[in-house]
Amino acid sequence: MPLGLLGKKLGHTRVYNAAGNLIPVTVVLAGPNRVLQVKTQAGNDGYNSVQLGFDDQKEQRLTKPLLGHIKKHSGFAVKRIKEFRDFSKEVKPGEIVGATLFAPGDFIDAIGTTKGRGFEGVVKRHRMAGGDSTHGAKGWHRRGGAIGQRLFPGTVMRGMRMPGHMGQDTRTTQNLEVIQVLEADNLLLIKGSIPGAEGDYVVIRESKKRPKGWKPPVTVVSKKAKAAAEKAAAAPKK
């Protein structure tokens, strides 16, 4: 997990790209993230990682062990803490990182908790077809059918798809493209949908499986800016 941020899903909207195409995006508040602790392989921890805290909290609402850990590293009370291993950017405790950790064109993975749907049947939970609606079928329209395996083996097999609690599971959506980065508001506009409801906390990390043919975004420098830079470099220093 080289780079990552804690954020909050705010909602959805649509924006135009440079080609004039309308793109549906999810708006994520991706900061400010405060660096709470930096672990190193050479230290007592034995591995490299960075702990980030997000969303300020009242101190009296934290447990004493957690508050003591935060105070030990001169941090401030936060609602969410996440540790990112092998953080590729050098940071120090107390520093602030935000949406500028990513750039337009980057691909990320979004980790969140899906919406809770409560107790659901097999039609909604597992997308089963259900029974016939005609030809004398009564009371079997949204049922899953037999589960007993007849005489042999005469038991319900483990993992059988049946009605039950749906949602509230941790899910990861991979290869989502960052469309815009609004530095002033610490917002990321990400193409596509992200698990969870509006207001839920999410983890944004660098994509582990980038699309085929992906290349890092290239910064285009105009001829005018290039000429000005060359002129400034050639000017004698005072």
Q: Which residue has the higher pLDDT, 102 or 216?
A: 102
The CATH number assigned to the domain with range 4-116+168-234 reads 2.40.30.10
Query: What pLDDT does residue 47 have?
Result: 92
DSSP string covering the chain, please?
--SEEEEEEEEEEEEE-TTS-EEEEEEEE--PEEEEEEE-TTSSS-S-EEEEEEEE--GGGS-HHHHHHHHHTT---EEEEEEEET-SS---TT-EE-GGGS-TT-EEEEEEEPPP-EEE-HHHHH----S-SSTT--S-TT-----S-TTTT-SPPTT---SEEE---EEEEEEEEEEEEETTTTEEEEES--SS-TT-EEEEEE-SSPPTT--PPPPP--HHHHHHHHHHHHSPP-
Is the pLDDT score of 153 beyond 80? yes
Instruction: Find the range with the poorest average confidence among 18-27, 136-145, 170-179, 215-224.
Output: 215-224
pTM comes to 0.79
Query: What's the mean pLDDT in 200-214?
Result: 86
Q: Where are the domains of the chain?
A: 4-116+168-234, 117-166
Q: What share of the chain in percent tops pLDDT 90?
A: 60
Query: What pLDDT does residue 36 have?
Result: 92
Query: What's the mean pLDDT in 111-116?
Result: 95
Q: Which residue has the higher pLDDT, 137 or 113?
A: 113
136 burial (CB, 10 Å; 0-12 / 13-18 / 19+) is exposed
